[in-house]
Every structure is written in structure tokens, then in C-alpha cells.
Amino acid sequence: MSSESVAVVLSGCGVYDGTEIHEVAAVCVALSKLGKTPVFYAPDKVQFHEVNHVNGSSDNETKRNVLVESGRIARGKVLALGELQVTSADAVIFPGGFGAAKNLSTFGVSENPVVDQEVERVLVEFHEAKKPIGLCCISPILAAMVFGGKDIKVKLTLGKQGDGWPFGGTLDKAKEFGAEVVEMNVNEVCIDEEHKIVTSPAFMYDGKFHEIQEGVTQMVNAVVDLI
């Protein structure tokens, strides 16, 4: 695989049960503008549930597969997360969407949340190899959980608390997991130089499409700078 590859980890297709589509689209555009090739990965497993994005009702009987759903975003080219080797990409990026809290971890659906084992492996291996990790929206909670569990204090943002920030409680959770949480606006990016972890709030903010795109683009630019 090309050394210009950046792995992009998906969690399904659609904000309420998978990857947030506008965020991943912004990631792909920013990467290709910088001459990088996004290579998509997703866990090959049944997704937590399927949400009707029009009326919000959920169905846990449909048993959609996270990898298959992610193929919609990847235009068919998506590999099982188990195949992602740290040597095959310069960096790894996790866009947001509830899939990160339902399929990549159980943060959004369990009192005692866990991170998917392959997700944990990937985060640990890229960190150990000193390759940059980019996360946006809710996905930084994955880094808070994994590195907090190893007593590694990473610095990250999940946006802010207050008006316009519907998921502000997440900041407290990330602190409980052991992360240093920095409050930031949608157009800002948090760079943990020591651990090469780059985060941006994206749709943690109830923002406009271009605001999300600009924040995610800055996140990707900072990730590529750290390669």
C-alpha cells in the first residue's frame, strides 16, 4: 500500500447509528487535497442497531453489518479493521457519528462502556509508532477511554459546554477517563504534540455545514503536518 495512505475508520453509515457522513466527506476532501489517499476500514460485525433517521425510531432486529454499511461511504472499497496494520498507513483518522459510541465503543449505550478490541489495538499501535491520530466529534472519547485506561494522559477536545453544545456532558466523562479536556470552538483544533493526537469538535456543536467542514479540514491538516 502507498506510503501516502491515511487510514479512515468508519462505524457504519449515518449519524445516529454509524459514521457522520458530512464529517467523513470533509476528511476525504482534505486528505486528497493534500495528496493523501484515504483507505477505509470498519469492524466486520453486526451494528448495535439501525436508526430511522427521519423519525428516530430504532430497530435492533435488522442486524445490519458495520463493514457493509460503511461500504456506502467508501464507494465499496472498505477493509475489515482487523486488516489495518500500522505499517500500511501514515496516520489514522476517526470521523464522528454515534457509531463511534455504539459500534466502535459502547460509550453511548452502556453504563460500563468498553472499546472495540480492534479499535483499541489500532489506537495503541499508531500511538506506539508515533504516527498521528485524528479524531473529531464524539470520537475523541475513544482516545480518552483507551489511553486513560493505560494511565497515558492525552489532551483532547470534545467542544464545549453550554448553549449550542448538546453533548456537553461528554467532556466530564472524558475527564473521568483520565484525559486532559480542552474546551474549544467548532473552528478550532486541539493538538497534543507529545502524543500526536489531533481533535476537533465538529458536530458536537450544533453548527452549520461549512463550519463543520472547516473544523474537520483543520484537523486533517494538523494530522498531516505531524506525519
In angstroms, rounded to a whole number, what is the distance separating the alpha carbons of residues 65 and 70? 8
What cell does 191 get?
Answer: 493538538
Residue 11 binding ligand NAG, by CB under 6 A: no
Smallest separation (angstroms) from ligand NAG to the CB of 103: 4
| CB-CB contact of 166 with 149 (8 Å) | no
Smallest separation (angstroms) from ligand NAG to the CB of 214: 31
Query: Per CB under 6 A, which of residues 115..134 are in contact with ligand NAG?
Result: 116
Contact pick of 57, 76, 112, 210 for ligand NAG (by CB under 6 A): 57
Residue 139 binding ligand NAG, by CB under 6 A: no
Segment lying near ligand NAG (by CB under 6 A), choices 51-59, 76-84, 152-160, 193-201: 51-59
Smallest separation (angstroms) from ligand NAG to the CB of 99: 8
DSSP string, 112-146: S--B-HHHHHHHHHHHHTT--EEEETTTHHHHHHH
CB-count exposure of residue 91 (10 Å: 0-12, 13-18, 19+): buried
| CB-CB contact of 158 with 140 (8 Å) | yes
Residue 55 binding ligand NAG, by CB under 6 A: yes
Contact pick of 8, 19, 40, 47 for ligand NAG (by CB under 6 A): 47
In angstroms, rounded to a whole number, what is the distance separating the alpha carbons of residues 121 and 104? 12
Q: Which is nearer to ligand NAG, 106 or 187 (CB)?
A: 106
Chain Cα centroid distance, residue 105: 11
Q: Which is nearer to ligand NAG, 120 or 192 (CB)?
A: 120
Helix H or strand E segment including 218: helix 209-225
Residue 17 DSSP SS3: coil
Residue 48 binding ligand NAG, by CB under 6 A: yes
CB-count exposure of residue 62 (10 Å: 0-12, 13-18, 19+): exposed
Smallest separation (angstroms) from ligand NAG to the CB of 58: 7
Residue 105 binding ligand NAG, by CB under 6 A: yes
Residue 180 DSSP SS3: strand
Contact pick of 5, 106, 187, 221 for ligand NAG (by CB under 6 A): 106
Residue 46 binding ligand NAG, by CB under 6 A: yes
- 137 noted as active-site residue: yes
Residue 175 binding ligand NAG, by CB under 6 A: no
Positions touching ligand NAG (CB under 6 A) are 45-48, 52, 55, 57, 60, 102-103, 105-106, 114, 116
Please give the positions annotated as active site.
137
